[in-house]
Structure 1
C-alpha cells in the first residue's frame, strides 16, 4: 500500500486529535474520515497508540517548518524572530478554530496515565525549547539580552507561559490570552533589568 494512504490517515489524525483528544479518537472514525479499509490502517500502524505517536511526529514536522521559517529569517533581529514564530502559531490556532496546541492538549490528557506519551511530549517541547534558546543565545551575543541572561531558562519559561495561554485561548475561543502573554513576556521578562550585585558575596 502506498505512502499516500498513510499520509491521508496522518493528515486526518492531526485534526481529529486536536478536536477529540486521544481517548475519544476511534480507529473506526479515522477510517470513516479517510474512506480507508481497516487493513490499510494496520498495514501502516501497529496500534492506536502507534498512530497517535506518528501523528505527533507529523505535527512536529509542521512546528519545525514554522521554526525554520521564522527563527531562520536573517532579515529580523533574533528576538523579533522568536516573537514572529509565536505570532504565526497564534494565527494557526485561529485557523484551526482555537483548538490550541496538540502537545499541550495531549500532555494534559495523557501525561498522568501514559509514560510513553509523557516522554514523547516532553521530548517534543524540549526540542522546541532548544531551538528557541539558540535564537535567544544569538540575541544575547548581539547585546539584545543582558549578559546575565540564561537563554535556556528564558526559552523554557516562554514555552510554559505559552502553553497556559494556549489553554485559556482554547477555552475562550479568543487570541487575547496569547497576545497578552507575548506582550508581557517581551516587555517584562526579556527587558528585565540586571539583578543587583550581592555585596556580601565578595
Structure 2
C-alpha cells in the first residue's frame, strides 16, 4: 500500500525534525527526501508552522498507540505497564539513533519564541502525564506504591526526568542515561 503524499511528508518530517530541528529544516530538503514536488507541500500545509504542528499530531498518534499497548495490558502490574511504555520509547530512540523525543527537542528549540508551539507541546506532555497518572493511581490502590503517594505528581516527575535523560542520551548517543533514570525512578517509586 502506498502512502499518500501528505503522509509521506509527515513521515519524512518526523525524522527530519528530530535530526535537524525546526529552524534548520528546509522545505526543499524535506521535499527532496520525500520525493515530492514543491506545489504538493502547499496543497497539504498552509506553511512550515502548520506542517510542524501536524507532525507533532502524527507523533502523538504514535505515542498514544504506545501508551495503549503498554498501559492497557491489564495482566501486568501497573508499575510494570508504566515502565513498559518507557522501555518501548527507549527502543524507538535507539532505532532513531538516540535523537530523543520530538516534543522535548522542539520544546527546547521553540518554546521561548512561539506561544503556539509552547502551548501545543505542553498540552501533549499533559496528555501523556494524564495517562501515566491513571496507571499510577491503580498502583496506589493496589498497594504497589504508598497510599500517601500523589500519582499526578509522580507522573509529572517521571515525565520530567525522562525528558532530561532523553536529552543526555541524545548528547551521548547512548542509552545509559535512560536506563539509569528508569532504574532509579522505579526503585524509588516502589518504596514511596
Report TM bin, short chain. over 0.9
Gaps of 5+ in 1: 193-202
SS at match of 1:23: coil
> 1:77 aligns to what?
77
Q: How many residues are matched?
A: 191
Moved more, 30-39 or 4-13: 30-39
C-alpha distance in 2, partners of 1:105/1:190? 30
> 1:137 aligns to what?
137
> 1:177 aligns to what?
177
C-alpha distance in 1, partners of 2:3/2:97? 29
Using the size of structure 2 for normalisation, the TM-score is 0.97
- CA-atom RMSD in angstroms: 1.2
C-alpha distance in 2, partners of 1:169/1:190? 25
Runs of 4+ aligned structure 1 residues displaced above 2 Å come to none
C-alpha distance in 2, partners of 1:120/1:184? 30
Gaps of 5+ in 2: none
By how many angstroms is 1:190 displaced?
3.9
Larger radius of gyration: 1
Q: Indicate how the Cα distance of structure 1 residues 176 and 61 shifts in structure 2: closer, same or farther if over 3 A, else same.
A: same
> 2:47 aligns to what?
47
Using the size of structure 1 for normalisation, the TM-score is 0.92
> 2:106 aligns to what?
106
- Once the two structures are superposed, the pairs formed by residues 140-179 of structure 1 within 5 Å of their partners are 140-179=140-179
By how many angstroms is 1:3 displaced?
7.5
C-alpha distance in 2, partners of 1:73/1:13? 31
Deviations 1:140-161 (A, max 9, x none): 1111111111110000000000
> 2:118 aligns to what?
118
